[in-house]
Chains A and B, each alone.
Chain A
């Protein structure tokens, strides 16, 4: 796992590195520390990572600016901050977890366990999806999303207004932070259950979902039974 720690206090950063090594052991392939938002943004332009550990108060700057950019990226973000009052706000943007300072090995392990485990969702679901644009980040209300289609290492967000937006996270990583009513129905599709009108069976293990707007989406064979139970 490639990890970036953004923390302005040298000793605190050293402490987190020490705990990461203790928890991840061999799974930690690389770890880097950046002490400011500017240097972190610069680092992320050139260096792919899997996980960002982000302090929200960096040299008097608000870490939410970086957080919005981070959650739009392909990697997951765990906030490590003493300012626990902003935890709920951080989850709205789609962070995997919020670890309060002082960090313990047990708490860090619990947060890292969410990473890459399909069955373990984020500690709280997001409310906004951050979309990277040329010069800015656009925050999209999760309620606007009708369904999500996998597009390689990216995802296509199909919105209620008919438009399609591209997100940098893969379908797998998005699923880990989406609210529980977003269900994986196919290896390439996630839908919101409230928008499903009915489940169609065409025989020969061919299944489809009809959404309320008439859109038909394929349903994976292995997911049909589970979906049928959920939809009643």
Chain B
């Protein structure tokens, strides 16, 4: 095949070292300048065709690069790579300009590779340092594959690269890596934002990639993936707007920069889009980690406070000093009861100390604490308090001192000089969870005074939130014959 074109060299270019750069004239070609053979690249076919280089840089001597119109003639044969896309280019430039362009492209590529490798290392540190979250692995692969694509592009752009090497590095490796990358990005979104039906998102995208491989060009492929990624980002924003907004912004920025590259407004725009996306995600992940760290700190602090509060309940002045004064009086009046009160007090201290560090204890242990406390208060008030249970197995897990605190509240507000008191703890199944109901036959309901929330109620609520975050309800209200507190513990939604 012969291809011919006319080339005009102006006066201003005449004094420069002109250079003819040809790319993609696979498989073999002969270049003629004004009818003279300038270069033979490979050996022309059809029989015995030998491939030449993908790139040809041909210097034009001053005699050949005179101002005026010249004829460029290329004889080409393409038997071996006839099925490959064929887009040969020929550019007349100068040696200095060509060198500068090559250096700029190489520097940009190395800069982006460095950024991507650094990002991959950063994600690796995040993966190792923060609970081995699998979404970070997706980002590591994403960054690594992009670095590989750019490096393959550099190999393909080497001066002596053959057409076979060029097609391998620039077409095949890039195409496969692009498919894998988009899957990685989708995997990251699915894992990071716990998208519903995540497997279907991934399976559908993988099926499309396999089906479209080989016949769908890169650009339409990219458009399809961008649509899928934006859709996943929108779903994530709807479910978890606090964190996923950044991810969506990153995807949109990446798509926008890529489109600029398509319009040839920005060199290496797709890769700058990747860097932009990684940068935005780094900010987003950083914010999330700071938030998570703060939440962990607050949770630890809350646990310590609750433990401290539980231990303090038994040494708070109102409980301890009134108990000690009651004990002083019993020593005078009824030494036997005084001994029993000391035993009960020691038992409560021992029980509370043994469970103070626990977030959950068995209800059997909780009932022991409750009954011991009722014995102590029975001595102090010179009354008889009983605790009945219904429907309990004994192995149920509850936060420590929850019902003891509620019993203490009941005793405080509704048993002034009553002589007797009855508490009933019942467990009932709910459609999705379990309900504990603590009834007391106190006079609190009969009093016109409103029962305000005290430190006891706040303690119970904080304990419930610590062990069953967002999955509990507590109600307290007068009922027929007394007062009832209901605690619903709900099963976590799937």
Contacts and interface: CB of A to CB of B under 8 A. Distances in A.
Interface in A70-109: 82-84, 100-103
Contacts of B380: 9-12
Interface in B308-365: 317-318, 320-322, 324-326, 328-330, 332-333
B317 A83 contact: yes
A60 B382 contact: no
B446 to A, nearest CB: 12
Contact of B325 (A12, A36, A83): A12
A103 B380 CA distance: 16
B416 A59 contact: yes
Given A15-B329, A82-B318, A84-B317, A10 B382 contact: yes
B420 interface: no
A12 B330 CA distance: 10
A223 interface: no
A101 B321 contact: yes
Contacts of B321: 82, 100-102
Contacts of A101: 317, 321-322, 324-325
A10 B381 contact: yes
Contacts of B328: 15, 102
B318 A83 contact: yes
Interface in A105-156: none
A8 B416 contact: yes
Interface residues of B, number: 27
Nearest to B318: A82
A9 B381 contact: yes
Contacts of B449: 61
Interface string B404-417: 00000100111111
A48 B412 CA distance: 29
B384 to A, nearest CB: 13
A11 B380 CA distance: 6
B318 A11 contact: no
Contact of B322 (A18, A61, A82, A84): A82
A41 interface: no
Most buried by A among B326, B329, B381: B329
Contact of A60 (B320, B332, B413): B413
Contacts of B330: 11
A36 B416 CA distance: 7
Nearest to A11: B326
B329 A35 contact: no
A100 B332 CA distance: 21
A215 interface: no
Given A82-B317, A84-B317, A102 B416 contact: no
Contacts of B379: 11
A13 to B, nearest CB: 9
Contacts of A15: 325-326, 328-329
A59 B443 CA distance: 11
Contacts of B417: 8, 10, 35-36
Contacts of A12: 322, 325-326, 329, 380
Given A61-B449, A83-B318, A102 B382 contact: no
Contacts of A61: 449
Contacts of A59: 412-416
15 contacts: A8-B416, A9-B322, A9-B380, A10-B381, A11-B326, A11-B330, A15-B329, A57-B318, A58-B416, A59-B413, A59-B415, A60-B413, A83-B317, A100-B317, A102-B325
Given A15-B325, A15-B329, 10 more contacts: A8-B416, A9-B326, A9-B381, A12-B322, A12-B325, A35-B416, A57-B318, A83-B317, A83-B318, A100-B317
Interface of B: 317-318, 320-322, 324-326, 328-330, 332-333, 379-382, 409, 412-417, 449, 451, 454
